[in-house]
Structure 1
Amino acid sequence: MSLEIAMPLLSSRRALLATPLAAPGIALAQQAGFPNRPLRVVVPFAPGGITDILARAAAEGLSGKLGQPVVVENRAGAGGNVGSEAVAKAAPDGYTMLAVGPAVMGIAKPLYGRLNYDPDADFACLGMLGGQANVMLVSPRALPEPTLPALVTAARAKPGEVAFASSGSGSLTHLTAELFAKDAGLRMVHVPYRGSPPALADLISGQVAMLFDALTTALPLHQAGQVRIVGIATRERAVELPDVPSLVEAGFPNLDVPNWFGLFVPAATPTPVAQRLSSALAEVTAMESYRALMRARSAMPVAIGDDGLDAFLARERSRWAEAVRSSGARPD
């Protein structure tokens, strides 16, 4: 992942070129005075996670840039779909935003099949809040030695017997492990859990051999010797673990799969309003205080690529749709 933060960019996609349906004069006057009341950022997950942390930091910065309070509202449920649907159906006036990543914008549609909203068509992205590396953890109790080669050797020796855990069927941790198994040519057993804590507990005890999880969650356990981090699921190594190779570096080219977090608005939000929000977000994410918070939480900028934000999101949708299809994942 790039060390240069990706600035939020707005392309000419149709989502941001929608013409307001209200009387043109009134609509233009409202846009010119935007914002003139408090705004909200919906986080479709419980408080305390990295999405929530970055959303709250961005909201604080946006309050200063926009001159209006920006309030974070947690609306968890159904893997992020409850809060996301609420924003999709909110008035497209710029006052309601959504902080979310690939769980909704890449995985939800192919995983659930039928939703009451369309993650692809119902939102426009204002820009990136940041990203966080997922890491591969192995269990010292489940393997003869806690290394990546030992895991591959054991799984090849006993096809369909070595187990990996995840935080749920169709979760980012599940699909990342499936990408690894596919790249390595392995047949492993998936054991889904309801969240990361019980999966980590069984990894520590040796009930399962491998798990992908967030770096911030895994690092203290690695440092305590309870688990071993053997690879970083990004293109580059993690600053916190300079001696641990990235999985791309280790020979798994499809394992550059950071958990990214973006800020979205309903698709029909008028272009001037969306541009105002996008510019303010760019200023916030470039602030040293924001970057310092990212470093403290093992978060990092997201490398969008030279072809821009729309192309990045299209690649993410394609990647995770294929991962869901090939894994046969179903919602818990």
Structure 2
Amino acid sequence: MLKRRHLLAAPTLVPLAAPAVAQPAWPSKPVRILVGFAPGGSIDVLTRMAAEVLSQRLGQPFVVETRSGASGNIAAEALARATPDGYTISTFPMNTAVINPMVFPSVPFDTWKDFRFISSMWDLPNIFAVPSRHVPARSVAEFVTWARQLRGGVSFGSPGTGTTVHLSGAYFCNRAGIEGTHVPFRSGAQVVPAMLGGDVQMAIDNLGSYTGVIQDNSIRALAVAMDQRWPSLPDVPTMAEAGFDNFSMSPWHFWAGPAAMPQEIAERLSAEIRNLWADPALQRRAIGMGARLNASTPAELEARLRAEVPRWAEMVRISGAQAG
């Protein structure tokens, strides 16, 4: 009986806590990369290259998923709403994040609140292009002199209102003091035939669309809108060398995830990209595809994006660009 009373009086034993289950190391399954533009363009092709090398390095597939439309807004909205577990990221053009909120009546995302920045990825060279048959100028200075003599000025083409190509063309005309009329097309592929036909006299457009027609001399590159000359066009000056300083207006792309994506995953992926991008062979491969690799930390990426805002805001004001 005594023993029973002692047993009844004994303190209740607390069950031991279940051992913590370790989370699998990232990545433990395929990673989706959303792309907001149609397959075959530079953003799609370069993203597939990045997916290939990261799959090899990290041992899990990086799968490109197209969500095209609305100048990248559809993919941006999909990313903002994605599960923030590190398994959905996106390749963003700078203009989707910075310019779209300025030219669209509204966009379904907030660049500064809805995304976790990961890394810059690559820069794409824009060139000052003119049709050799219709424009006699062989330098930017000669073009300005020639254009000022034209009644009604010049027409410049772009793949759409509010694109970097549109804004750069309008900004150039403003700075050069020439009258310029913007002619928007549905895609960049339509600008080149229009130039060859004499319908537009210039475009400050992505080099990738012009390589073949520059090689056969039907299009003349007068300058590169970057801080440095482009390797495949060593004799073509930069816009600064051509007399237009502060005219590095080429597009660039970056990677981001949903805002609540773990910071440690963003930092890990950023570090992997920086390591991979340091490979000279991969750098040469990218140059051959029309891009210069340019990785960054998440903090450096955000700083670069914020620095773009006032510059493009001024160009939107000058152009009066409004997208529907």
Question: Who is 1:15 aligned against?
Answer: none
| Residues 226-282 of structure 1: per-residue CA shift (max 9 Å, x gap) | 111101001111111111110011121231122211111112211112122222222
The structure whose RCO (Cα within 8 Å, separation 6+) is larger is 1
1:213 to 191, 205, 210: 205
Q: Which residues of 2 match residues 1-332 of structure 1 at below 5 A?
A: 29-30=22-23, 33-158=25-150, 160-302=152-294, 308-331=300-323
**Change beyond 3 A, Cα 1:87–1:304:** closer
TM-score, normalisation: structure 1: 0.85
Question: Who is 1:22 aligned against?
Answer: none
Q: Secondary structure at the match of 1:151?
A: helix
**Change beyond 3 A, Cα 1:304–1:323:** farther
Residues paired across the two proteins, number:
305
Residue 29 of structure 1 and its aligned partner are, at CA, apart by 4.5
| Residues 199-243 of structure 1: per-residue CA shift (max 9 Å, x gap) | 211111112110122112212101212111101001111111111
Q: Secondary structure at the match of 2:210?
A: helix
Q: Secondary structure at the match of 2:39?
A: coil
- Give the aligned CA root-mean-square deviation in angstroms: 2.3
Distance in structure 2 (CA, Å) of the matches to 1:304 and 1:247: 25
State the percentage of identical aligned residues: 36
Distance in structure 1 (CA, Å) of the matches to 2:123 and 2:323: 24
| 1:279 maps to amino acid | A
Distance in structure 2 (CA, Å) of the matches to 1:29 and 1:271: 18
Tell whether the 8 Å contact from 2:140 to 2:242 is kept in structure 1 after alignment.
Answer: no
- Runs of 5+ unmatched residues, structure 2: 1-18
Distance in structure 1 (CA, Å) of the matches to 2:107 and 2:117: 20
TM-score, normalisation: structure 2: 0.87
Segment of structure 1 superposing worse, 123-132 or 317-326: 317-326
Q: Secondary structure at the match of 1:136?
A: strand
Residue 161 of structure 1 and its aligned partner are, at CA, apart by 2.6
Q: Give the 4+ runs in structure 1 shifted more than 6 A.
A: none
Residue 96 of structure 1 and its aligned partner are, at CA, apart by 0.5
Tell whether the 8 Å contact from 2:122 to 2:295 is kept in structure 1 after alignment.
Answer: no
Distance in structure 1 (CA, Å) of the matches to 2:174 and 2:32: 41
**Change beyond 3 A, Cα 1:103–1:159:** farther
Residue 105 of structure 1 and its aligned partner are, at CA, apart by 1.7
| 2:162 maps to amino acid | G
Distance in structure 2 (CA, Å) of the matches to 1:144 and 1:69: 51
* Larger-gyration structure (1/2): 2
**Change beyond 3 A, Cα 1:187–1:121:** farther
**Change beyond 3 A, Cα 1:233–1:159:** farther
Residue 160 of structure 1 and its aligned partner are, at CA, apart by 4.3
